[in-house]
Amino acid sequence: MKNKLIRIGVLSAWLVGAFCSVSAVKETNYIYLLAGGANALGAVRDGALTKEQISNYKSFSYLWNGNMDNKGAPNWSVVAPQHPVQKEPEEEGKPPVLSMGPEYGFCNMMQRRKWHSAPGEYVRVIKGAIDDPSGNECWERDGKAYNSFIRSMAAAAGSNDLKGRSVIRAFLWLNGEEEKGDRIPSVVQRFQDMLSRMDKDMRNGEPPLKAGEEPPKEAGTGKKVVPKVLKKGMPKLVIVGENAAPQAGDIDEDGKTVVKLMHNFVQKKKKTMGWVRTRDLERIGNSKKYNGRSQLAIGARFAYATAILEGLSIPFSRNDVVGAALNTPAAWWAGKMPQPDSVALWDISSANNAKKKAETAETKQKKETTETISADWAVGGIEVEDPFAENVVIEPKDAAAPAKIQLGSSGIRVKNADLTLKVPVEATTNQTWEIKSGRVICLGDKDKPVQLSGNACISLQAMSNASLELHLTALPTVTWSLPPQPIKTDITVGGKPAKMVKQDDGSYTIILSEAAAKK
């Protein structure tokens, strides 16, 4: 009986200790400041996301935005498209105007890549953005956008919902950046002055929470009440979005542009500043406003740039540099080029120079993002998770002497887009090619077939309505393991129709069709 009591006592102590250790996990809020103009606000009429796209990019992060119609006082709410306070007039037959800026893609990518998403950790965004025709002038001190942003920070930081430890990690800036010629040379200095003013006003609790009112003061001391998280001032990390392309009036007499000046400034401060490209992305018609899908991409790029500055671990992901050869570090976030044992990933943050193919009677119109390799590229695998384009095409930089892809054990996985390889492919070891429903993996085309080589077995895992297209120069040495359900196949060898045939060992090989073989 005594031993049982001792055991029960030990068990009780362990349970109490375990409970205490769980309850001792304190909430930690990683706060990011997002500010800027119309594109940071993100009015997306005529460029809105579909319900499916919105669903795919949900997050469990929180947003505070004083410029939203919250049906009452601003508050912390789950990141989602919202109605701006200043609504555009609704037009019959058109969807309502919604605001969804970079915060949507930013928070989703922070969560998706597991950056600051351990138990008890929360990503929060305090947003200050306004579509104001006065442009950058509204970000001068006492300007409409500036004052509103400072007040939003004070209100959000002092909210009762903000429990546990809180730390402001980075400042994300996405503004129109168009200026008149005589103001262009001073754009960098004015940006630095704005950061300095924000730092001082955050620390001192100014301007007041409401225009014309004094900030609250501590009883007995008369000191201003400044939320603890603001007392350290602005974060050291700053990420600047490129935003709209320079317009004709945004170039001074020496040929300088705001974008060039800001980019050069950021490049000199690589340890504390990041640069996010945006000009490769789609806009709404001929306007300077990016559509909803572009907003997702911009937000995801902000997330990658932030994670790199924070020293967090990132995957081998295609970055925002259009045209960089895949076999060079310039094409990958943080220069982290995929190696023979790693997977090259395309997601919504990837560079996009998508162009629409000409629509024919046989094919639906499809956007393509063209990538190149300038030398043989050995990579563990290729994963097209969710690129901006509908088809990622990889081709040799030099068609006369095509480089090849040496593909390792991770093989290929396509999820929300197609993959077309117009380069020779060598399967260096057994691997799996996974094709989700409705997606296509294509090697070569009928006019320009490619070589498929390697003494390996490719295991094909494909869902219904998936397709495999192989246009090869010669019969390959690889064997295949096929899924139980049939999939669409289009196979040619040397321009002649071919098919897969089952061997005695259960594997499949490609042979010429009988009619083609007799010719």
> What are the tens digits of pLDDT across the range 466-507?
999 999 999 999 999 999 888 899 999 999 999 999 999 999
- The span from the CA of 381 to the CA of 474, in Å, is 23
Is there a domain that residue 157 lies in?
yes
Q: Which of 274, 309, 344 is the last residue of a domain?
A: 309
Give the closest residue to 113 by CA, choosing from 316, 250, 364. 316
Residue 30: count of CB within 10 angstroms of its CB: 22
Average pLDDT over residues 380-396: 93
* Residue 133 pLDDT: 65
Kind of pairing, strands 496-502 and 488-493?
Answer: antiparallel
Answer yes or no: do 348 and 490 share one domain: yes
Rounded (10°) angle between helices 187-204 and 258-267: 60
Best mean pLDDT range from 70-74, 181-185, 303-307, 510-514: 303-307
Task: Please name the residues in contact with 145: beta carbons below 8 A apart, sequence gap of 6 or more.
Answer: 35, 37, 128, 129, 130, 132, 138, 139
* Residue 212 pLDDT: 60
Answer yes or no: do 404 and 484 share one domain: yes
Rounded (10°) angle between helices 103-112 and 292-309: 50
Kind of pairing, strands 391-396 and 418-421?
Answer: parallel
| CA dihedral sign, ordered 293, 294, 299, 300 | positive
Residue 419 has pLDDT above 80, yes or no: yes
Q: Is 158 helix (H, G, I), strand (E, B) or coil?
A: coil
Task: Please name the residues in contact with 15: beta carbons below 8 A apart, sequence gap of 6 or more.
Answer: none
Give the closest residue to 476 by CA, choosing from 456, 447, 446, 506. 456
Dihedral, 246, 250, 255, 256 alpha carbons, nearest 10: -80
The answer to which of 13-22, 168-177, 321-330 has the lowest mean pLDDT is 13-22
Answer yes or no: do 389 and 477 share one domain: yes
Residue 426 has pLDDT above 90, yes or no: yes
* Residue 32 pLDDT: 98
What rounded mean pLDDT belongs to the chain?
A: 84
Average pLDDT over residues 238-259: 69
**Percent of the chain residues past pLDDT 70, beyond the cut:** 80
Answer yes or no: do 359 and 493 share one domain: yes
pTM, entire model = 0.88
DSSP state of 84: B
- The span from the CA of 429 to the CA of 136, in Å, is 56
Average pLDDT over residues 438-456: 96
* 49 band by pLDDT with thresholds 50, 70 and 90: confident
Bridge partners for 142 per DSSP = none
Answer yes or no: do 78 and 128 share one domain: yes
Bridge partners for 166 per DSSP = 29
Higher pLDDT, 152 or 220: 152
- Single-letter amino acid, residue 347: D
Answer yes or no: do 157 and 202 share one domain: yes
* 5 band by pLDDT with thresholds 50, 70 and 90: very low
Answer yes or no: do 232 and 355 share one domain: no
Q: Is 142 helix (H, G, I), strand (E, B) or coil?
A: coil
DSSP state of 425: E
Residue 363 has pLDDT above 60, yes or no: no
Average pLDDT over residues 123-135: 82
- The span from the CA of 117 to the CA of 497, in Å, is 51
Answer yes or no: do 222 and 349 share one domain: no
Find tokens 């990958």 and name the residue. Answer: 332
* Residue 181 pLDDT: 72
Residue 20 has pLDDT above 70, yes or no: no
Q: Contact 43/131 with Cβ under 8 angstroms?
A: yes
Give the closest residue to 155 by CA, choosing from 212, 74, 224, 72. 74
* Residue 160 pLDDT: 87
Q: Contact 446/472 with Cβ under 8 angstroms?
A: no
Give the closest residue to 306 by CA, choosing from 194, 171, 195. 171
Is there a domain that residue 365 lies in?
yes
* Residue 258 pLDDT: 81
Higher pLDDT, 112 or 74: 112
* 395 band by pLDDT with thresholds 50, 70 and 90: very high
Answer yes or no: do 37 and 161 share one domain: yes
SS3 labels along 434-493: EECCCCEEEECCCCCCECEECCCEEEEEECCCCEEEEEECCCCCCEEECCCCCCEEEEEE
- The span from the CA of 175 to the CA of 190, in Å, is 13
Is there a domain that residue 5 lies in?
no
Number of residues that this document lists for the chain: 519
Average pLDDT over residues 130-147: 79
Is there a domain that residue 428 lies in?
yes
We report the CATH number of the domain holding residue 196 as: 3.40.50.1110
Average pLDDT over residues 1-26: 49
Is there a domain that residue 393 lies in?
yes
Domain of 457 in residue numbering reads as 329-518
Q: Is 309 helix (H, G, I), strand (E, B) or coil?
A: helix
* Residue 322 pLDDT: 92
Best mean pLDDT range from 19-33, 142-156, 329-343: 329-343
**Percent of the chain residues past pLDDT 90, beyond the cut:** 53
Is there a domain that residue 9 lies in?
no
* Residue 10 pLDDT: 46
Phi and psi at residue 489, to the nearest 5°: -130, 145
Phi and psi at residue 162, to the nearest 5°: -90, 90
Number of domains present in the structure of the chain: 2
Phi and psi at residue 501, to the nearest 5°: -125, 135
Is there a domain that residue 15 lies in?
no
Answer yes or no: do 283 and 173 share one domain: yes
Answer yes or no: do 375 and 247 share one domain: no
CA Rg value for the chain? 27
Higher pLDDT, 130 or 343: 343
Find tokens 């950021």 and name the residue. Answer: 266
Is there a domain that residue 398 lies in?
yes
Give the closest residue to 237 by CA, choosing from 187, 176, 321, 311. 311
* Residue 97 pLDDT: 64
Answer yes or no: do 228 and 335 share one domain: no
* 283 band by pLDDT with thresholds 50, 70 and 90: confident
- The span from the CA of 439 to the CA of 428, in Å, is 24
